Copies of this chain bind each other. A is one copy, B any other.
Amino acid sequence: MKLYDFPPAVNAQRVRMFIAEKGLDVPMVEVDVRAGALHEEPCRSMNPFAVVPFLELDDGTCIGESIAICRYLEELHPQDPLMGRDPKERAIVEMWNRRVELDGFMPALHALRNADPVYAGRVLPGTRNDLAQLPEIVGRGKDALAILFDRLDTRLAGSPFIAGERFSVADVTGWFTVQVASRIGVPIPDTCPNAERWRREVADRPSTRV
């Protein structure tokens, strides 16, 4: 298999952190996203959604979505599980990963794409068009993050990690939510000391530096 990667892309970083936490060695190919390679062959046929990362299997199948890639790697390499050890734990990890993603990571990403001039002309992931960058979406992303940080703080008052006693993919998503949030000027607020404790502990993990 080969992972098509672009180091600055946050979803690519997310999959790399997952791989590092599991201690896997996955061959990587760098895609020149800024030169438009995702919209040209061979990438275009491999992954019509035109986003990174995507995983090409040895039979040519392409998995073009971050959590789908993580899940596939987890099934192939069940050691050091990051998505839960049994059906109940997997459901709890999935719940937290998805809540963090839907309520924080995605609103933050959309806010960033509507705020940073580098995304002009490609405001929606995997598209090239003339959609305007909308300050209203930036503002709404910040609203969503304030609510999520508050809820995470409550959770992390009684739990070392987001999904419970063990580090999981929900912490990977949480980590990159914090990274993207800081790029739009929304750090974890002082009113959320438990979330900040968690952030400092995750920052110490070697997987954040891959």
| A residues apposed to B, CB below 8 Å | 48-49, 57, 61, 63-65, 67-69, 71-72, 75-76, 87-88, 90-92, 94-95, 98-99, 102-103, 106, 124-127, 131, 134, 136-137, 140, 143-144, 147, 151, 154-155
Contact = CB atoms under 8 A, between A and B. Distances in A.
A126 B88 CA distance: 23
A103 B131 CA distance: 15
B124 A95 contact: no
Given A49-B151, A103-B125, 13 more contacts: A49-B103, A63-B92, A64-B99, A65-B94, A67-B98, A68-B94, A68-B95, A69-B91, A71-B94, A72-B90, A75-B91, A124-B143, A127-B147
A69 B95 CA distance: 8
Contacts of A98: 65, 67-68
A125 B102 CA distance: 10
B65 A87 contact: no
Nearest to A63: B91
A72 to B, nearest CB: 4
Per assembly, the copies of the chain total 2
A24 B131 CA distance: 44
Contacts of A64: 95, 99
A147 B127 CA distance: 8
Nearest to A127: B147
Contacts of A95: 63-65, 68
Contact of A72 (B49, B65, B87): B87
B106 A106 contact: yes
Contacts of A91: 63, 68-69, 71-72, 75
A33 B67 CA distance: 31
Contacts of A61: 88, 92
